Amino acid sequence: MPSYSPLRMGLYTRITRSWLESRFQKRNAQGIYQAHMPVYGVGQVDCEGNHLGRLARILRLLRELDGLRFSTLLDVGGAEGYLPWLATRIFGAEAISSDLSLQACLRAKELFGLPSLALECNKLPFPDKSIDVVVCSEVIEHVENPVETILELQRVARVAVLLSTEEVHHDREAIDRYLFTRPGWPHMERNLFHGDDVAACFPGAALRPQCDRDPPGELPIAAFAREWLLANTREQTLDRGCKGVVVLWAADLTARAPRGHTDEQLVDLLLHSTIARGASASPPRLQSLLQRLCDPDSMQPLSLRGDRVCADGGASYPVVEGVLDFVRLDRPAPTRADLVDRLRVEAPARSAALLALRDRLYLPDRWTNDRFDFRVKEDQRGFWVNDQLRDRGDGVGFSWQSLGADPWIVTPCIQRSLREVRIEMRVHAPGHPAKHGVGQVFWKGPADDTFDEARSVKFLVPNDGQTHVHCITLEGHPMLPLEVQWLRIDPIDGACEVDLISLDLL
């Protein structure tokens, strides 16, 4: 097994929060916020893509809400607050938005006037059964502690939990292959679920697909969107051809109610619930939100003291522009033993299923290996390959056929200082001269969004079918950070056979 760092909160949460903070500050050249959801209207370019897929998911969530008696709603991972705003407009609910990102919470306050708070989803600052409906949409696949997060959603919900994720699949082997290769970069889909996993997490829940088939990718006009949404959100059971899952888990079965809207009415309300670019809303009242909250660690009541909220036990949290920030990057990570203790009140079968899911989805903060020997299967864990490297299966270590001009492989998170990288590999392109090709090593540090040419070193790669050790010096490069989080290795610039045998980090 790889050598892992001690279990601690902070690294994945910290780098994901940093990534999200940057994302939720994005604006175009005119200063208009680049929305995550289609808040400006279907087909509008100042929102992220996949409008039909996003709207289909929201429509499914609205249908479930339409059949519940509720007055309060919490959206955990609510981004800029579109769904909780819809809940206030359509159902008259008192809605709260929350997210790991402080900037996302600030956008929810600015755009929609929502009370909003930054938090860690496995430590919700609410008493037991204090919110009617808790929503968690397209979040659980990204989080560090998914099982603990689900238990927190269920702890806080008085009426129901509504959860959605696109990352539900039907092939266990495909799920395991993906989990083996994920490198754990910020906000990636690090958790994949089988339908049985979802059923174990939410016993007795209704599981429905988000949409009946993949939506077209082009930006739609509203008339087409209405027709497509009504035609492609009809299926009631999960199927291999459907997309994603929407889960309704009822904490109180008596809270079910006849629906108050038809599907057509909900679609029309959804398509016409938009805001103008550059709009701003009246700020929410912080004091009324504070009355619902408690310290996420001690469960003690909170009071406002200047620019902080404080618990009786001494813990305090900042208030930034009217948004409470409960994220503590030094908070200890929940351990497996903590989960075992928490599950003692559950039925043995459910407890075992949730522990097995936790173990299957567990991903360390970082790998501390100095050497990866790719002839050992376990040393291949966490290495992510692009589609220009196809598994050949007949070589030594990682054996691929390079199919294009830019094949690459990304390491798992290593988070360390680096002076040199040594790569042992064999390259052979039959029928081509045994001259030097070009390989390249890229790196990404904590302040870098992606890999780019400025943070890379090239090296010569002979095409002679022999094994060579390439020593690539990084020390002294002006763009080398104090700590490297990920490496990307481009083994060769062209079509050939590649055997990557070992990697040493010095």
Domains of the chain: 11-279 (3.40.50.150), 371-505 (2.60.120.260)
State how far the Cα of 442 lies from the Cα of 440, in Å rounded to an integer.
7
pLDDT at 10 (0 to 100): 62
Residue 318: its H or E element: strand 316-320
DSSP of 235-255, one letter per residue? --S--TTSB-EEEEEES-GGG
> Alpha-carbon Rg of the chain, whole angstroms?
25
Exposed, middle or buried: residue 469 (CB in 10 Å: 0-12, 13-18, 19+)? exposed
> What tokens were used for 276?
């103008």
Residue count of the chain, please give it. Answer: 506
Instruction: Give the other-Cβ count within 10 Å of 437's Cβ.
Output: 18
Q: Are the C-beta atoms of 478 and 447 separated by less than 8 Å?
A: no
- The three-class DSSP label of residue 170 is coil
For residue 351, what are the contacts with CB-CB under 8 A and spacing of at least 6? 343, 344
Residue among 427, 451, 430, 454 at smallest CA distance from 438: 427
pLDDT at 219 (0 to 100): 66
pTM of the model: 0.93
pLDDT at 127 (0 to 100): 97
pLDDT at 435 (0 to 100): 74
Residue among 384, 367, 406 at smallest CA distance from 484: 367
Tens of pLDDT along the chain (506 residues) come to: 333 333 344 688 888 999 999 999 999 999 999 999 999 999 888 999 899 999 999 999 999 999 999 999 999 999 999 999 999 999 999 999 999 999 999 999 999 999 999 999 999 999 999 999 999 999 999 999 999 999 999 999 999 999 999 999 999 999 999 999 999 888 999 999 999 999 999 999 999 999 998 888 776 677 889 999 999 999 998 887 889 999 999 999 888 999 999 999 999 999 999 999 888 888 888 888 999 999 999 999 999 998 999 998 778 999 999 999 999 888 888 899 999 999 999 999 999 999 999 999 999 888 999 999 999 999 999 999 999 999 988 888 999 998 888 999 999 999 999 999 999 999 988 767 667 788 999 999 988 888 999 999 999 998 888 999 999 999 999 999 999 999 999 998 888 899 999 999 99
State how far the Cα of 467 lies from the Cα of 280, in Å rounded to an integer.
62
DSSP bridge partners of 35: 47
Work out the angle at residue 48's Cα, subtended by the Cα atoms of residues 320 and 243, and round it to the nearest 5 degrees.
Answer: 115
pLDDT at 157 (0 to 100): 98
